[in-house]
Chain A
Amino acid sequence: MIDDYALKDPQRDYRIFFARLVFCGLIVLLLMAVLAWRYHHLQISRYADFAARSDSNRILVRPVPPPRGLIFDRNGVLLADNRPSFNLTIVTELTRDLDGLVQELQALVTISENDIDKFRKQQQRRRRPYQPVPIRIGLSQEELGVLAVNEHRLPGVQVTAEQLRHYPLGEKLAHVVGYVSRINDQEIRTLDPVRYRGTHMVGKTGLEKKYENQLLGEVGYEKVETNARGRVMRVLERVEPVPGRDLYLNLDSRLQDVAFQQLTGERGAVVVLDAVTGGVLAMVSTPSFDPNLFVSGISHSTYNALLNSPDRPLFDRVLMGQYPPGSTVKPAYGLAALQEGTVSAGYRTFDGGFYQLENDERKYRDWKRTGHGWVTLKDAISQSCDTFFYDLGFRMGIDTMAEYGRLFGLGVRSGVDMPGEAEGIMPSRAWKRGARGQAWFHGDTVNTSIGQGYTLATPMQLAVMTDRLANKGLIRKPSLLRKLIDTQLLTQPESRRIEAAEEHWAFIHQSMEEVVHHSRGTAQAIGKNIGYRMAGKTGTAQVVGMKQDEEYDVEKVAKRNRDHALFVAFAPAEDPRVAVSVIVENGEHGSSAAAPVARAVVDAYMQHFPVESLQLTDSGGALE
């Protein structure tokens, strides 16, 4: 305290202090100037930049996905519905420790490894920043509660509501209605990014795919202000989405149901056409699958099981299954022969059990080894005499047969409003040269005349053929869509006709009626106790080619190599209103396996569409 006190020089001390404090004061002034310059720089020079950044921080333009159009059957039964589903999503940009967060979430709600896999995949995909990525779909009420309680400590976690497609009738309509599913990597490249903003689903099969454009609707958007955790604080602006358009189908879910029940346990297909309008009343392919599985994301194991099942449940037999039509084509070729003068109504020939071409050893056998004896065209149809048609076909020639076959829709896509329809094959010289690079032989003509050989047709094509027979040659496309919600009933453009004399049509109708109602008709079994007249034709399609003279032995042939059973029919015979085709894979005989299915379906039709009501209420639906 007392050191050097004598030497203290207060004046000098003060001068140094004064100078230094003033110097510091100036430095402080300079620093304040630096701050002023810095804030001026941020707030004035770069104002626009930061103002924009601040807005983009808080303002998010969110797409508002439109509700997908609903699908109804002709009676207003809902076939495809939208249901709210709550999804657990994560905005990865707002999380610091994603793995930890996922673990924490797993403690709260059930999240399977499969969910996490899907989440990872989607998260790594290119997407807009701050877009929530779903990790669990379809939260239960309890889970929603648990999440609500814990949400505050789970940054980046959001529960989003989404409309999820639901198919109330499930597998009964799986192939017709199809399903929607998550947009995949390939689709994302082809779909219009503007229209699909906010939509995660796209129609993958069936009507959902065919009418995707109508069902989708137009996306709306809303400008929302969000806080730093992505939570929406308020909506600044909203443009409502335009809902997708509802589809009203010609389909009748009651008939669909009957047909589906009839085929349960079988592999097969049924197509029911409205012979008045050309509308599709039912189309069933069995076995089927639950389309709802695909909506929420099907697991790999389930999908592989469906995909690899030998019964091929995912395969739509109606449009993609191509079968030899067998004898079901006989009425069409019969009409062609009458019209072309190959045979007359009274023409008779003797069936000794087989047919032979000149200079050819090969015997073309009839299904009845003893033969049918003397047969007319009418007998040949009602008893399904092969020999008669071998002769008829050979004499008519492949060119005429092919011409008429195509007019009846064989080898031509029906044009039904569904994706992925197979074309089938109506063999001809040109076809064989193109497809096989071979010349046409007489033997080919003979095989073709009974719907075997190269001929392939889908159940839909057989139904179309039957419709054209029923309508005496009216050519039109079958149609599932009856109308859109905001349109009139669809009308078909001016149709072409298969030109043939009225008497020939009548003859063929009578012949087909005898199939069911004549005591020797191949389907006479279903003609019993029937309250109306049905015209039909049985068919049996060989799965495995038989060697010459080889006996077809049911016991020896494995189930999967047994013949397919087919049946086509229309009713009532005198005034056709419904046309049906049925195929039962490996069902062996059209008469025993397929015809009863057709009978049941047509019975149901007759019950639900009695003549009186049809004239009163359904006349508006008729295509004029």
Chain B
Amino acid sequence: MSQGDFVRRLQQPGSGVYTTASGWQKVHLDFLLFLLLAVLTAFGLFVLYSASGGSEFYVKRQAMWVAIGFVAMFITAQISPRLLARWALLPWLGGVFLLVAVIFFGTGAKGAQRWLDLGGFRFQPSEVLKIAVPLMLASYLGNRHLPPRFAHVVSALALILIPAGLVIIQPDLGTSILVAASGFFVLFLAGLPKRYLAIAATGIAVAVPMMWFYLMRDYQKQRILTLLDPQSDKLGAGWNIMQSTTAIGSGGLHGKGWMQGTQSQLDFLPESHTDFIIAVLAEEFGLMGVLLLLLLYLLVIGRGIVIGLTAQSNFGRLLAGSIILTFSIYVFVNMAMVSGILPVVGVPLPLMSYGGTSIVTLMLGFGMLMAISTEKKRGV
């Protein structure tokens, strides 16, 4: 009698409830995570109202997206992780197909083609890849021997770099790095041997200067130069970062009060309801508000890590770990760029920034996390 049998037997009384009871017990939902997400999105709508200059239009639209996101999360949470793993290739293929479509039919702004126009509804396929890539990777590596062998690493890299490359040529460096990161997290968590990590580090060290000279567009270079010296271009690229740090700094400890931020209300702050919304929060709610937000994020991340650590399968562990780490990276990159310690890349603040695709994608990810966290309910 193995230990596994023993454990299973102990669960037997409970499992009877699962199979017979109807209602909540059948629902796959992580209540702590759900609560935290509800608080964060509500906080987000609250800040958005101020950031959009008291616009009900923006808040209503975003509330609609939040609702759609929660529904998507709820539905995803009900899907068995095994099913997810089995069909992981589908979203990946679909995502890559859409990225190719963007190249030919896409619309965009400021010299970048990022959107597909689906009859008045704009859709950004690169967002899908943020979920599809880790899902694919987790599915691929989860069924194999860990740590991955060389051949698997090569295949995994292909699965990462094909979509990342397609995003980079849009061009959208920020998203492409994040898509690639979500895939690399799976590789890393799967136990990628240290020598590969060393090779990757060397590769990046070589690639960065190459990118600077051959791949990066002028505006991207400008963003990095601006980061180093925002004063160099006060009314151009430096404007955003000067205004956002001014907004944050002038918030002080307690902030200027909701709807009272002069930087955001008087339009000094650019993109105040999308990528720069943290500056509005920081200006109006001060450091206290920022720390509260960080705490909420940390709780979400902590819960995500626990879900990863307690997941039942390698697929679940890898996917959960990747999703929550990618989420953490979003939070960090956004808050760091707005406060002037990273160059400005187009990364929204998760659950706070205005934008439908972003919030639905995130909620899909959290839905998967919940599916993983409640896998136990399904029995092994």
Residues of A near B146 (CB, < 8 A) are 8, 12-13, 16-17
Are B301 and A42 interface neighbours, CB within 8 A?
no
Query: Any chain A CB within 8 A of the CB of B145?
Result: yes
Given the known inter-chain contacts A13-B146, A16-B191, A21-B305, please indicate yes or no for A42 contacting B245, CB distance below 8 A: yes
Which of A225-233, A346-354, A531-539 faces chain B? A225-233
CA distance A409 to B57 in the complex (A): 82
Write out, one digit per residue, whether chain A residues 411-439 have a CB within 8 A of any chain B CB (1) or not (0): 00000000000000000000000000000
Q: Does B93 make an interface contact (CB < 8 A)?
A: no
Quote the shortest CB–CB distance from B121 to chain A (angstroms). Answer: 26
| Contact A57-B191, Cβ < 8 Å, known A13-B314, A36-B294, A225-B262 | no
Where chain A touches its partner, the secondary structure class is: helix
Do residues B282 and A43 form an inter-chain contact, with CB atoms below 8 A?
A: yes
- Residue A38 lies at the interface, judged by CB distance under 8 Å to chain B: yes
Within 8 A of A (CB), among B234-276: 235-236, 243, 245-253, 262-263, 266-268
Complex partner residue of B250 from A10, A13, A47, A227, CB under 8 angstroms: A47
Least CB distance, A244 to chain B, in whole angstroms:
35
Whether a CB of chain A sits under 8 angstroms from the CB of B185 is yes
**Contact call A228/B282, Cβ cutoff below 8 A:** no
* A-B pair number, CB within 8 angstroms: 152
Which residues does chain A contribute within 8 Å of B11, judged by CB atoms? none
**Interfacial chain A residues near B336, Cβ < 8 Å:** 34-35, 38
B291 surroundings in chain A (CB, below 8 A): 36, 39
> Which of B185, B308, B332, B339 is in CB contact (< 8 Å) with A31?
B332
Is the CB of B210 closer than 8 A to any CB of chain A?
A: no
A96 to chain B, nearest CB (A): 7
Q: What is the distance, in angstroms, from B242's C-beta to the closest C-beta of chain A?
A: 8
CA distance A57 to B234 in the complex (A): 13
Beta-carbon contact of B267 and A228 below 8 Å: yes
User: What's the Cα separation between A352 and B25 when bound, in Å?
Assistant: 144
Q: Does B15 contact A (CB under 8 A)?
A: no
Q: Which residues of A contact B249 (CB under 8 A)?
A: 42-43, 46-47, 49-51, 53-54
Decide: A58 and B268 in contact? CB cutoff 8 A.
Answer: yes
- Interface size range of chain A in the complex: 35 or more
A3 close to B144 (CB less than 8 A):
yes
With A227-B266, A228-B268, A233-B266 known as contacts, the answer to whether A21 contacts B251 (CB < 8 A) is: no
* Majority DSSP secondary structure for residues of B touching A: helix
Contact with B along A59-102 (1 / 0, CB 8 A): 00000000000000000000000000000000001101000000
Assuming A50-B245, A53-B250, is B286 touching A43 (CB within 8 A)?
Answer: yes
Residue of chain A at shortest CB distance from B328: A28
Complex formed: what's the CA distance from A564 to B262 in Å? 73
Assembly CA distance A228 to B336 (angstroms): 24
Residues of chain B from 89 to 106 with CB closer than 8 A to chain A in the complex: none
**CB neighbours of B250 from chain A (8 A):** 47, 50-51, 53-55
- Which of B185, B236, B297, B335 is close to A24, meaning CB atoms less than 8 Å apart? B185
What residues on B are CB-neighbors of A53 within 8 Å? 246, 249-250
Asked whether B266 lies within 8 Å of A42 as measured between CB atoms, the reply is no
| Alpha-carbon separation in the docked complex, A353 to B301 (Å) | 123
Contact A35 B332 (CB under 8 A): yes
Q: A51 to chain B: closest CB distance in Å?
A: 5
A7 within 8 A of B: yes
Name the one of B245, B263, B309, B332 contacting A32, with C-beta atoms under 8 angstroms.
B332
User: In the bound complex, do residue B191 and residue A43 qualify as a contact, i.e. CB atoms below 8 Å apart?
Assistant: no
Q: Does B355 contact A (CB under 8 A)?
A: no
Taking a contact as CB atoms closer than 8 A, the residue among A28, A96, A227 that contacts B301 in the complex is A28
Residue in B144, B253, B318 whose CB lies within 8 Å of A17: B318
**Cross-chain contact of B287 among A10, A20, A43 (Cβ < 8 A):** A43
Complex alpha-carbon distance, A28 and B301, angstroms: 9
Q: Which residues of B contact A8 (CB under 8 A)?
A: 145-146
Contacts of A29 in B (CB 8 A): 298
Which residue of A is nearest B266, CB measured? A227
Q: Give which listed residue, A35, A44, A228, contacts B253 with CB less than 8 A.
A: A44
Q: B197 to nearest A CB, angstroms? A: 11
Pick from A4, A17, A57: contact of B190, CB under 8 Å: A17
Q: In whole Å, how far is B187's beta carbon from the nearest beta carbon of chain A?
A: 10
Closest to B255 in A: A43
Instruction: Enumerate chain B residues within 8 angstroms of A145, measured Cβ to Cβ.
Output: none
Contact in complex: B266, A24 (CB < 8 Å): no
Query: Could you say which of B190, B191, B252, B317 contacts A51, with CB atoms under 8 Å apart?
Result: B252
Contacts of A7 in B (CB 8 A): 145
Which chain B residue shows the least CB distance to A46?
Answer: B249
Please give, as numbers and ranges, the residues of chain B lying within 8 Å of A369 by CB-CB distance: none
| In the bound complex, CA of A55 to CA of B339 (Å) | 19
Per a CB cutoff under 8 Å, which of A22, A32, A39, A57 touches B298?
A: A32
Is A18 located at the chain interface by the 8 A CB criterion? yes
Give the most central of B249, B251, B328: most A CB within 10 Å.
B249
The distance in angstroms between the C-alpha atoms of A384 and B147, with both chains bound, is: 130
Instruction: From B144, B236, B266, B282, give the contact of A58 (CB < 8 A).
Output: B266
Given A35-B339, A226-B266, are A21 and B189 neighbors across the interface (CB < 8 Å)? yes
Known interface pairs A13-B191, A226-B266, A228-B267; A21-B332 also in contact (CB < 8 Å):
no
Please tell me if the beta carbons of B263 and A24 are within 8 angstroms of each other in the complex: no
Return the contact of B191 from the options A1, A20, A24, A49 (Cβ within 8 A).
A20
Q: In this assembly, does B341 line the interface, its C-beta being within 8 Å of a C-beta of chain A? A: yes
When distances are taken between beta carbons in the complex, the residues of chain A under 8 Å from B287 are 39-40, 43-44
**In the complex the two chains form, what is the Cα distance from A552 to B193 in whole Å?**
121
Q: Which of A20, A25, A32 contacts B188 (CB 8 A)?
A: A20
Residues in A with CB closer than 8 Å to B335 are 35, 38-39
- CB A571 to nearest CB in B, in angstroms, measures 70
B residues within 8 A CB of A93? 235
**A39 and chain B: residue at smallest CB distance:** B290
Q: Is the CB of B290 within 8 A of A24?
A: no
Assess the A24–B188 pair: CB atoms within 8 A: yes
Instruction: Give B311's nearest chain A residue, CB to CB.
Output: A17
CB under 8 Å from chain A, chain B span 72-92: none
**Who on chain A is nearest to B283 by CB?**
A54
Could you tell me the distance in whole angstroms from the C-beta of B337 to the nearest C-beta in chain A?
Answer: 11
Contacts of A4 in B (CB 8 A): 144-145
Indicate whether B325 reaches chain A with its CB closer than 8 angstroms: yes
Residue ID in chain B nearest A8 by CB atoms: B145
Chain A residues within an 8 Å CB radius of B331: 32
* A24 CB contacts on chain B under 8 angstroms: 185, 188-189, 305, 321, 325
Whether B143 sits at the interface, judged by CB under 8 Å, is: yes
Interface centre among A13, A54, A58 (most CB of B within 10 A): A54
CB nearest neighbor in B for A54: B250
Q: Are B266 and A225 in contact (CB under 8 A)?
A: yes
How far apart are the CA atoms of A20 and B263 in the complex, in Å?
42
Is the Cβ of B235 less than 8 Å from the Cβ of A96? Answer: yes
Chain A minimum-CB-distance residue to B295: A32
B262 touches A58 (CB 8 A): yes
Complexed CA–CA distance, A352 and B325 (Å): 125
Query: Which residues of chain A come closer than 8 Å to B248, judged between CB atoms?
Result: 39, 42-43, 50
**B317 CB, min distance to chain A CBs, angstroms:** 5
Question: Which residues of B come within 8 Å of A, CB atoms?
Answer: 143-147, 185, 188-191, 235-236, 243, 245-253, 262-263, 266-268, 282, 286-287, 290-291, 294, 297-298, 301-302, 305, 308-309, 314, 317-318, 321, 325, 328, 331-332, 335-336, 339, 341
Given A20-B188, A43-B290, 13 extra CB contacts under 8 A: A8-B146, A12-B146, A21-B317, A25-B302, A34-B336, A34-B341, A35-B336, A39-B248, A50-B249, A51-B249, A54-B250, A57-B266, A227-B267
14 A–B pairs (Cβ distance < 8 Å), ordered by A: A17-B190, A17-B191, A18-B309, A24-B305, A25-B301, A31-B328, A39-B287, A43-B287, A47-B252, A50-B250, A55-B250, A225-B266, A226-B266, A227-B266
Nearest 9 interchain pairs by C-beta: A50-B249, A54-B250, A16-B191, A227-B266, A13-B146, A42-B249, A228-B267, A28-B328, A43-B287
